[in-house]
Amino acid sequence: MDFSLSPEQREIQSLARDIADSEIAPHASTWDREHRFPLELIARLGALGLMGVCVPEEYGGAGSDFLSYILVLEELSRADAGVGVTVAVHTSAATLPILAFGTEEQKQRFVPALARGETIGAFALTEPEAGSDAGSLRTAAVPEGGGWRITGSKQWITNGSHAGTILLFARTDQSTAGPRGVSAFILDNEHVQVTREEEKLGLNSSSTADLRIEGALVGRDRLLHGERKGFVVAMATLDGGRIGIAAQAVGIAQAAYEAAREYALERRQFGKRISDFQAIQFKLADMATEIDAARLLTYRAAWLKDAGLPHTAEGAKAKLFASETARRQTGEAIQIMGGVGYTKEFPLERYYRDAKVTEIYEGTSEVQRIVIARSILAHAERASA
């Protein structure tokens, strides 16, 4: 086993860290307080190749591997998890599915602008009546004039208010219940109407919108991967997307740990630094251990994806553990800092708010446990057959 990063991976990680420290972290509290989507930053990230890190160069990307992209997400999320999820959904959930399932014409048409950050991508699967049960979606696509007429609504769509390219899922076979009647389409922002911008607990620098599709007419060239194959696209997309959310959670947890550690080294009580007290030392030791474990699970899942190996269960394990680590350890960081950690003078309360959603989106922790359980039980059955 070789746990070291390649020179190229270290270079990309260093670039992302520099941008995070100089151009994101100083503004993150303001963006959070104002609920402002930093559109100007997206153009900057695109110019640096960070909006298409793992997209091949022939399609406008940086041509790096998936692990490099995960390193970027971790660094961006350490500075502002809202920026992290914007890039994660744009890349994992919008750009990469077109690369994986699109025709050559679709790749050439849509991917370069996404990879360069000229267009922001979104993933529109969730509906008011279709959350974890994605197969129950009601948005309908009806054949018309050689294309499709799409009508329906979508909920909690990350990047929804700013996306120019939207991977949207609709039912094309109205007679077939469940996931088998679902297809995937590539839509433009002109095809959808933003009906609401969600007010959230955290991630306030990201956009989360409700969308309405009022009889949008699209050609057959907007169908991705063929009719009734949308659920295949969605599940494969979530397999990779969960690794990205795990990286986001690791970044949040790392930021909280660093803030708590530095505070513990400076804060004095009873004539000594609080870092000299065993109770604080044990908290920091547990934080560092869990964050390292979450990071290794995340990197392993990314390595498997890069190698073209199965990674469904491994991605689920990474997301499950990393998200719960982020939620626990942001709370512990506030505990170390005491009253000041509860105030907006320090970013700990923002980290705490941002961490919670990593246990919910791209599949709740309960869903991750189902995915993991199915995998281990299927493996046991095959071994005993």
DSSP notation for 117-128:
TSS-EEEE--BT
Name residue, tokens 């939620």: 327
Bridging pattern class, strands 223-224 and 182-188: antiparallel
List phi, psi (to 5°) of 361: -80, 165
Contacts 24+ apart (CB under 8 A), 340-347: 340/263, 341/260, 341/263, 344/29, 344/33, 346/259, 346/263, 347/28, 347/29, 347/255, 347/259
Asked about 262 being catalytic, the answer comes back as no
**With the C-alpha atoms ordered 305, 294, 98, 60, is the resulting torsion angle positive or negative?**
negative
Closest of 66, 188, 180, 171 to residue 129, by C-alpha: 171
Q: How far is CA 204 from CA 31, 43, 162, 207, 358, in A?
A: 7, 19, 14, 7, 14
Question: Could you say which of 332, 362, 366, 381 is catalytic?
Answer: 362
Question: What single letter denotes the amino acid at residue 159?
Answer: N
SS3 354: helix
Enzyme catalytic residues: 362
